[in-house]
Structure 1
């Protein structure tokens, strides 16, 4: 496993109770580590969509999407791979990627399964050349 950072904490948006923007906080959290079959991405951009707000609006809605408290926020991200777990092929430290990580993308780092889906484990795709 390659690790290009030595920080022990990073920032992530967290919901401790459901609701609108007034309910989220920015927290210091342990830096996640990529496990087998996973990559860690240093997030450089995260997109917010109406669905992100809808999913975290109340407990009943959140449960329909498999979310429980505390939870993160945002799904769409772009960034740079900074750690590669065992058994991963097709991704290397320094690769630019984009993808989805259900209610986890608004953070300094996100860990995704390279064979996952947005809803289960997250997903990552290489950023095409020429896209800034």
Structure 2
């Protein structure tokens, strides 16, 4: 039977297990994919603790971990068009991606360009697409300055590159250990920690035009003091705090068209997925711990052998 990495109840890492389960069957508007790679994101472990995405319902347990995959179409659901068996695709999983097989909704599934590896493609549907949505939501003109907190993580790395491709100046907040990495992306690095706003003002004396927060909490509160126009304050990490501060969450499009766009940016050389670590499926626990500890540079991906 196919293997999958699941959580059996809400809680900590002790709820996780590698299990065998029936191969899923695609429903209307879905394709069954033989997974080649699955991206690992902070939202994965947060869902294990009981966090639910806006508009999402309770998960049926045990639930497969993971939200983004790349693989090969094995079976089509009823009335599916635009895809055939054997197509190489990537997208957002219906109910988990750390598995040998996953279901993808065709509305959030794109054809993988031949030049894009499965591993890199699996890094795009959540992190890169969130970054793309957020940067375009801000609607800044070329030459403007955007502050990105958490610039060294999966979404931050993509957001920095997408912003730079649009001609924006980026001030990237990250730990001191990620300074060289953030600067390699083309951003002005500012170390995280107390007195953040003062350090940002020192490197951006003319101010910042927008804030794309990926940390939340005190970092988000400090960054908000740099803006007069809070409509230019968005977060992918802390909806409650940003609402209190007068900003808003990243508005996710969740469409195949966005996936096509981020894949095109990769193909054009303007966006590097920066996959910095890969793990086989039987070491999914290690992959998720690496992300859960919060010190990852770029993206972690689980590779599924065939």
The alignment's TM-score, normalised by the length of structure 1, stands at 0.76
TM alignment of 1:32-47, pairs within 5 A? 32-47=24-39
For the 8 Å contact 1:42–1:108, the answer to whether it is kept is yes
Which residue of the partner structure matches residue 67 of structure 1? Answer: 58
Extract unaligned runs of 5+ from structure 1.
1-8, 116-122
Identify which of 2, 9, 14 aligns with 1:22.
14
Which of these two proteins has the greater Rg computed from alpha carbons? 2
- For residues 34-55 of structure 1, the C-alpha deviation after alignment (integer angstroms, 9 at most, x for no partner) is 2333210000100111121112
Q: Of Structure 1 and Structure 2, which has the larger fraction of its residues in strand?
A: 1
Stretches of 4+ moved more than 6 A in 1? Answer: none
SS at match of 1:130: coil
The alignment's TM-score, normalised by the length of structure 2, stands at 0.35
Extract unaligned runs of 5+ from structure 2.
118-306
Higher relative contact order (CA 8 A, sep 6+): 1
Q: Distance in 2 between matches of 1:26 and 1:54?
A: 18
1:124 aligns with 2:116: no
RMSD: 2.0
The structure-2 alpha-carbon separation of the partners of 1:50 and 1:66, relative to structure 1 and needing over 3 Å to count, comes to: same
Q: Distance in 2 between matches of 1:100 and 1:46?
A: 10
For the 8 Å contact 1:78–1:97, the answer to whether it is kept is yes
- Number of residue-to-residue matches in the alignment: 115
Q: Of Structure 1 and Structure 2, which has the larger fraction of its residues in helix?
A: 2
Q: CA deviation at 1:66?
A: 2.4
- For residues 41-79 of structure 1, the C-alpha deviation after alignment (integer angstroms, 9 at most, x for no partner) is 00010011112111212x3x2486423332220101100
For the 8 Å contact 2:72–2:88, the answer to whether it is kept is yes
Q: Distance in 2 between matches of 1:11 and 1:111?
A: 14
